């Protein structure tokens, strides 16, 4: 693995740290998964050390979603050979982060069918190579941030784009109720920026301190 890229991201005045490293090769699928697992563990330990937090692992629930240690929240993403881990030293926010590269013709077709509605495609206009990837990534980030509160799998159609990406922010609204706090019409903001040859998106949602907290 190469040396980790370190950076900070902010959301609504809250700062989290991210670390990123090349983690996988084009070898067999099992080898890639093992390399990613080692990269996740390494990045998590480095971030926990940076924040002077206990060196505890991230567990998984019945749907293989991460369950973070008490006093820590974060998110993990992989794109091609790169792994990224975000860590936030607190219980009050659930975070979601995602890394996606520009979409080619085949990816645009798949995203347009699976992740975007006709109104969103019309709103995005012609620059679909970047914007399709951004919106797809934003919805992935929202899913990761919302899942600990929602508690079940939900689709891309839960989040609907309200305006074109601009000024490193994307504005969405919920298309239907997901939980008591995540209700239809609620505005959702997702931040983005270029990162490691791709696009990094992230968001954070307030949560009760004891939700999805492992001892």
- Hey, what are 16's tokens? 């989290």
List, for residues 148-193, the tens digit of each pLDDT value.
Answer: 999 999 999 999 999 999 999 999 999 999 999 999 999 999 999 9
| pLDDT at 213 > cutoff 50 | no
Tens of pLDDT, residues 4-34: 678 899 998 999 999 999 866 555 556 888 8
CB 117 within 8 A of CB 111: no
pLDDT at 200 over 50: yes
Q: What is the pTM of this model?
A: 0.90
Cα dihedral across residues 114, 189, 15, 132: positive or negative: positive
pLDDT score recorded for residue 6: 83
Q: Nearest-CA neighbor of 19 among 170, 213, 195, 212?
A: 195
Domain ranges across the chain: 5-97, 101-144+151-195
Looking at every residue in the chain, the average pLDDT score rounds to 89
């Amino acid at each position: 693995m190469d040396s980790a890229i370190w950076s900070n991201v902010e959301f609504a005045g809250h700062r989290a740290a991210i670390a990123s490293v090349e983690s996988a090769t084009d070898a067999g699928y099992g080898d890639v998964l093992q390399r990613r697992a080692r990269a996740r563990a390494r990045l998590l330990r480095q971030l926990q050390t940076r924040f002077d937090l206990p060196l505890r692992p991230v567990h998984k629930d019945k749907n293989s979603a991460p369950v973070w240690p008490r006093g820590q929240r974060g998110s993990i993403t992989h794109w091609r050979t790169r792994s990224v881990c975000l860590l936030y030293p607190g219980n009050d926010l659930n975070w979601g982060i995602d890394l996606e590269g520009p979409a080619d013709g085949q990816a645009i077709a798949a995203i347009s069918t699976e992740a975007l509605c006709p109104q969103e495609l019309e709103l995005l206009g012609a620059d679909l190579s970047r914007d399709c990837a951004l919106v797809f990534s934003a919805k992935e980030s929202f899913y990761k941030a919302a899942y600990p509160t929602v508690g079940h799998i939900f689709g891309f159609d839960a989040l609907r784009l309200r305006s074109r990406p601009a000024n490193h922010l994307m504005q969405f609204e919920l298309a239907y109720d997901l939980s008591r706090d995540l209700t239809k019409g609620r505005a959702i903001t997702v931040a983005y920026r270029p990162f490691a040859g791709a696009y990094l998106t992230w968001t954070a949602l307030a949560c009760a301190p004891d939700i999805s907290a492992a001892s």
